Amino acid sequence: MTPKEVIALAKEKGCKILDLRFCDFPGTWQHTSYPISELTEDCFEEGFGFDGSSIRGWQAINESDMLLKPQADTAFIDPFREIPTLCLICNIADPVTGSDYTRDPRNIAKKSIEHMRSTGIADTCFIGPEAEFFVFDNVQYDSQRDTSFYSINSTEAVWNSGADEGPNLGHKIRLKEGYFPCPPTDTLMDLRSAMIMHMLDAGIPVECHHHEVATAGQCEIDMRFSDLVAMGDMLMKYKYIVKSTAHAFGKSATFMPKPVFEDNGSGMHTHLSLWKDSKPLFAGDGYAGLSETALFAVGGVLKHAAALIAFTNPTTISYKRLVPGYEAPVNLAISQRNRSASVRIPVYSKSPKAKRFEFRCPDPTANGYLAFSALLMAALDGIQNKIDPGNPLDVNIYDLSPEEAAGIPKTPASLEEALAALEKDHEFLLKGDVFTPDVIETWINYKMENEVDELRLRPHPHEFMMYYDI
């Protein structure tokens, strides 16, 4: 859409409010609203001023002024607002120099595509994330000096099989048995259907939706693949629509990777393929039907996986999902069908256009713009340096001897370990000025100070269970 077409859309839909949205450094959508009369063709170039020092991980107080620059091709109508509202996703710019802001995640995504094209390797990067989430009927939590707790509940959960629900109608989901049950066991079909109706209206192409493995309302809605920057936008809209639709139904949705103990967590398996001149580059006669280019791309991802995971799995709770035994992709290897391998090659379709690899480590707490960009940069580094992905892991990992299993590299065991890997291995991200040294340093410092250290300093409720009587 052009600015003129956006203004025409606003008039056609009777919009009264203009809502400007942007992604902060960790990955949460922020917004500010104006009367629709403020929407002019000039504003797409001139932008809207705001205080960047109040946004997590951004400007210092002495250089706080920044600009929101609406992007016309991101326009959509907010389906949840009582007053008709037009939404536009924005890029962030410096009002003095006019240049794009280096810590703007969307700008980093744009630069990753520009760098890819400058290498001559490809002109298009398609991304397809599979973001899972939980829907709860009640959520309570607190963390103070004198208390710390959480309590979650879902009418589907196995722990409610004996609850007095007045009446309890049964049909509870046992642990690890939530994949594809029909209603009435799947109580969330209408909710997910409402979500995808909103997604389609907001310009998100949707392929399917279903219940996922875990008890307590785990769900998945699959978006059709798109180019990297557009998919970063769509993931932000996806999360907004999932949370807002659940809220409208009197429920709460979360993208936390591991909210339920001893059951499957929520991942965001991410598919990637490269194209040039409208032709797929990953189909060939190598392992699993991959081209040499694709295998080198996988080699780059596996080589840099520990550092890459600092962006694709960016929370302390991410590593409570990345543990053996829950279909978690903890083994840094390639495989056609082994779901415990971090890189899987889907074999559902024989079409060259469908040939891709799936990086299974990411989870939906990731900032999509940063995670997808880092994944692309690792793949490009692998292609440029002809990095061998190693031997495939096409055996059942649980059939291996302890010695054989120990020889397979594993994902980092904690966010701190992943950040340490990123500190040592980030040169591949600096190519093309995609991730600047400032971005890497700020990401590591922000995560260490605001997440790793904050959790490390606090007593955990389970530590009382283990140690109070010692």
The residues that are catalytic are 51, 130, 132, 212, 220, 269, 339, 358, 360
Q: What sign has the CA pseudo-torsion 199, 106, 231, 43? A: positive
The 3-class SS string of the chain reads CCHHHHHHHHHHCCCCEEEEEEECCCCCEEEEEEEHHHCCCCHHHHCEEEEHHHCCCCCCHHHCEEEEEECHHHCEECCCCCCCEEEEEEEEECCCCCCECCCCHHHHHHHHHHHHHHHCCCCEEEEEEEEEEEEECEEEEEECCCCEEEEEECCCEHHHCCCCCCCCCCCCECCCCCCCCCCCCCCCHHHHHHHHHHHHHCCCCEEEEEECCCCCCEEEEEECCEEHHHHHHHHHHHHHHHHHHHHHCCCEEECCCCCCCCCCCCCEEEEEEEEECCEECCECCCHHHECHHHHHHHHHHHHCHHHHHHHHCCCCCHHHHCCCCCCCCCEEEEECCCCCEEEECCCCCCCHHHCCEEECCCCCCCCHHHHHHHHHHHHHHHHHCCCCCCCCCCCCHHHCCHHHHHCCCECCCCHHHHHHHHHHCCHHHHHHHCCCHHHHHHHHHHHHHHHHHHHHCCCCHHHHHHHCCC
Using a CB cutoff of 8 Å and minimum separation of 24, what contacts does 239-247 make? 239/29, 239/131, 239/364, 240/29, 241/79, 241/195, 241/198, 241/199, 241/202, 241/204, 242/133, 242/195, 244/79, 244/80, 244/198, 245/80, 245/191, 245/194, 245/195, 245/198, 246/135, 246/191, 246/195
Beta bridge partners of 134: 218, 254
Which residues are annotated as part of the binding site for L-glutamate?
A: 264-265, 321, 327, 339, 360
Annotated binding site for Mg(2+): 130, 132, 212, 220, 269, 358
Q: Which residues are annotated as a binding site for ATP?
A: 207, 271-273, 339, 353
Q: Which of 77, 70, 96 is nearest to 2 (CA)?
A: 70
Q: Which residues sit opposite 77 in a β-bridge?
A: 86
The answer to whether the Cα torsion of 215, 314, 73, 48 is positive or negative is positive
